[in-house]
Amino acid sequence: MHLGQIAALTPDKPAIVMAGSGRVVTFGELNDESNRLAQLLHAEGLRPGDHIAFMLENHPLFLAIAWAAQRSGLYYTAISSRLQPEELAYIVENCEARVFITGASVEAAAQAPPDVPLRLMLGGTAPGYESYEERVAQHPPVPIEDECEGVDMLYSSGTTGRPKGVKPVLSKAPMGTPGALYQLIDFLFQPNADSVYLSPAPLYHAAPLRYCLTLHRFGATVVVMEKFDPEGALAAIEKYGVTHSQWVPTMFIRMLKLPEDVRARYDISSLRVAVHAAAPCPVPVKERMIEWWGPILHEYYAGTEGNCFIYASSEDWLAHKGTVGRPLLGQIHICDDDGDELPPGVPGTLYFGEGPEFEYHGDPAKTAASRDPRGRGWTTLGDVGYVDEDGFLYLTDRQSYMIISGGVNIYPQEAENVLAVHPKVADVAVFGVPDLEMGEAVKAVVQPLSPDDAGPALEAELIAYCRDHLAHYKCPRSVDFRPELPRHPTGKLYKRLLKDEYWKQATTPQ
């Protein structure tokens, strides 16, 4: 449905509730704010197919800015507020944004305003910026004349090299036209105007941004956590009567590690749908979540690129533990290094056929690298996995993280999944480090739940624990401890940063 229609029917209904502050943005306010900004963008000469970018924390007006671009037929890029000025400048320049919007609390943007024609700042001003509030207030809260559907152009988180801008085809369909995600969510999760959706992750990530906007199209209320907190998430479910939600496995792990009396303190009976994605979920974690929340967990595997959508209900998963599901969009092809398709049970590079087209903006080499080298029209996200006899997909790891030790291929995700559920582990990364004899050795870097536990005794305990569950060659030969691992707020682990550090140490002359 069109946002304007929902606002006309229920102008005072909460469209957005900020879970921490309690601030409410009604559908009437969301519609007016997005219309005013759309009018400003139109007055600045932006037309369908042009581009804006914004860098914000989970701000009450974040989704209004996205809606303004969406209803203007624009490409829009939401940028992580954790990036440094150099990274920000690269993305804004690469996406060819003509307008950039940020907040006074976003340090990187205030330090180094990117070079664009119009720069706006919420909640204050800094050199190089105009006041967002003052400029937007000058325009009427009515739709622009040529409203049509825009689309996000988001950047991969850059686990290898520079982040890539994923540029989908711009439909320019009439505003209010249901898209593929709307139809998929409607089919799988059946939200309606009475639904309440909890978004505990940063809104600049693909899934939270897209799901929040889509749930608005159903007339549902979106509850946004300013920052994820395990107990705070349970409290929000109870307080707001949350019916639908989306998570990443690290959030499940943190909630499960709350004391039992804390977990039992909150009434979560309103929750009907708990969607999770973004990273593989260890089997014991998902088993415990289904025991706790019931068979309401829905898992999917997809990418910002939109070339596939693999789905598993709780019932599917319980019958095929460890799977991420079967395809609802895209046809799975598992291939070896020569491009030959592999039989069930044998891991290889995942390719998908018959999915939507995409390109990496301004980078034809990266676009070509994502294509099947035999020219069959298939695309890959660089993941490794296999299918079982029933066609269910199991992820093994990223191709770039595979360890080759003594000529044997090792996928570190297996050891990570085991160690993640150890009661003394808060977070873990497993990767290969240089080894003179074997080529690479398996290394674990662990954030202990209690810093006092870090040391040789816990190292030995974790190695033994891993060996009780996996073949010894798959387990770490050594464990280092850190107070915190470099993890994106969306749950994605920046393993490359750790791996690069160890490889650099090995090649630096002593």
pLDDT for residue 444 is more than 80: yes
pLDDT value for 49: 97
Identify residue 392 by its one-letter amino acid code.
F
pLDDT for residue 160 is more than 50: no
* For range 125-143, the mean pLDDT: 97
Helix (H/G/I), strand (E/B), else coil: 433? strand
Q: Which residues contact 356 (CB under 8 A, 6 or more apart)?
A: 168, 169, 180, 306, 307, 329
Sheet hosting strand 348-353, strand order edge to edge: 331-335, 348-353, 383-387, 393-398
Q: How far apart, in Å, are the Cα atoms of 65 and each of 2, 114, 205, 338, 477?
A: 16, 18, 15, 46, 49
Q: What is the CA radius of gyration of the chain?
A: 23
For 25-167, CATH gives 3.40.50.980
Mean pLDDT check: name the lowest of 96-100, 389-393, 428-432: 428-432
Pairing between β-strand 130-131 and β-strand 118-122 as defined by DSSP bridges = parallel
Topology match between the domains 25-167 and 402-507: no
What is the share, in percent, of the chain residues with pLDDT greater than 90? 72
pLDDT value for 159: 42
* For range 290-311, the mean pLDDT: 94
Give the residue extent of every domain in the chain. 25-167, 402-507
Query: Are 77 and 154 in contact, with CB atoms under 8 Å apart?
Result: yes
Query: Can you tell me the distance from the alpha carbon of 112 to that of 134, in angstroms, rounded to the nearest whole number?
Result: 22
pLDDT value for 446: 96
Closest CA to 334 of 310, 356, 317: 310
Q: Angle, to 10 degrees, between the axis of helix 249-256 and the axis of helix 283-293?
A: 70
pLDDT value for 249: 87
Closest CA to 75 of 153, 143, 147, 145: 153
Q: Give me the helices (H) in 123-179, please.
A: 132-137
Positive/negative CA dihedral, 37, 42, 45, 46: positive
Query: Are 328 and 340 in contact, with CB atoms under 8 Å apart?
Result: no
Identify residue 416 by its one-letter amino acid code.
E
pLDDT for residue 509 is more than 60: no
Closest CA to 498 of 433, 421, 408: 433
Which has the higher per-residue pLDDT, 408 or 229? 229
* For range 106-113, the mean pLDDT: 89
Mean pLDDT check: name the lowest of 14-23, 82-91, 239-248, 395-404: 395-404
* For range 450-458, the mean pLDDT: 96
The mean pLDDT of the chain is 92
Token representation of residue 393: 């997909």
pLDDT value for 463: 97
Helix (H/G/I), strand (E/B), else coil: 486? coil
Segment 413-438, tens digit of pLDDT: 889 989 999 999 999 999 999 887 77
What pTM was computed for the model?
A: 0.83
* 402-507 under CATH 3.30.300.30, yes or no: yes
